[in-house]
Amino acid sequence: MQNIVLFGPPGAGKGTQSAFLVDHFGFVHLSTGDIFRSNIKGATELGKLAKSYLDKGQLVPDGVTIEMLEDSVNASPDAKGFIFDGFPRTTAQAEALDAFLKGKGHAISAMLALEVPEEELRTRLAKRAETSGRVDDADPLVIQKRIDVYNEETAPVAEHYRFQNKYIGVQGVGGMEEIFERLSAAIKGLS
C-alpha cells in the first residue's frame, strides 16, 4: 500500500495533480479542504463549525480535523493507497496521522512537495477566484492570511517528513502534464 502526502502552499496545484494521480494510480483522494466544503454545502454541524475558519483563511482546529480525516480513511477499507491533500497541515496532525496509520499496519510512503514561488501562488489564486466560487480565494487579505498560516504552521510539517527521509521536492511550475510526469516518476521510484 502506498500512501502519499501531496504537500504544498495554497495554489500549488495539489487538487489538480491529485485528480491525475487518482486516474493513473488508483489512489483514494482525501482532501480535507474538499471535505470541509462539502460539509459547509450540506449545512452539517461540522460544516457550520468549519465555515468560520475557512472564510477567514484560518486552520480548523486539529481535533475535529483529525477525527474527520480518520473517519474518511476508515470509510475506504479497500483502498489500495491514499493521497492526502491538504492534510497534515500542522505537526500535531502529522503525528496523529503517523500513529493512526501505524495502528493499521501502514505508513506514509512519501511526502511529495510541490515547490512554487509565492508570487506565482498569488497570481494563481487570484485567477482561480474568477471561477472557483471560493470565498477564501476572492479576498486578497484572506489569501495573504492563508499564505502566512502556511509559512508559520504548515511549512514545518515538511521537516517532520524530511526527518523520516520521506520528503521529495517536486518543481511545481510548468505545464500540468509536465508536473504530473515529475510526480509519477517520484511515485514509481518509491520502493
* Binding residues for ligand ADP (CB under 6 A): 10-11, 32-33, 36, 53-54, 57-60, 65, 86-87, 89, 93, 136, 146
Is residue 161 exposed (0-12), middle (13-18) or buried (19+ Cβ within 10 Å)? Answer: buried
Residue number, 64 or 107, with CB nearest to ligand ADP = 64
For ligand ADP, the closer CB: 75 or 185: 75
Closest by CA to 5, choosing from 19, 23, 18, 20, is 18
Residue nearest to ligand ADP (CB): 33
Question: What's the start-to-end Cα distance of the chain, in Å?
Answer: 11
Q: What is the nearest approach in angstroms of ligand ADP to the Cβ of residue 188?
A: 25
Which residue's CB is nearer to ligand ADP, number 6 or number 110?
Answer: 6
Give the sheet arrangement for strand 81-85, strand by strand.
28-31, 81-85, 2-7, 110-115, 167-171
Shortest Å distance, C-beta 41 to ligand ADP: 13
Using CA atoms, how far apart are residues 27 and 31, in angstroms rounded to an integer?
A: 12
CB of 184 to ligand ADP, least distance (A): 21
Q: How far is the CB of 133 from ligand ADP (least distance, A)?
A: 13
Nearer to ligand ADP, 148 or 181 (CB): 148
**Residue 22 CB neighbour total at 10 angstroms:** 13
Show the cell assigned to 70: 480518520
Q: How far is the CB of 57 from ligand ADP (least distance, A)?
A: 5
* Smaller CB separation from ligand ADP, 86 or 172: 86
Query: Can you read off the three cell numbers belonging to residue 99?
Result: 500513529
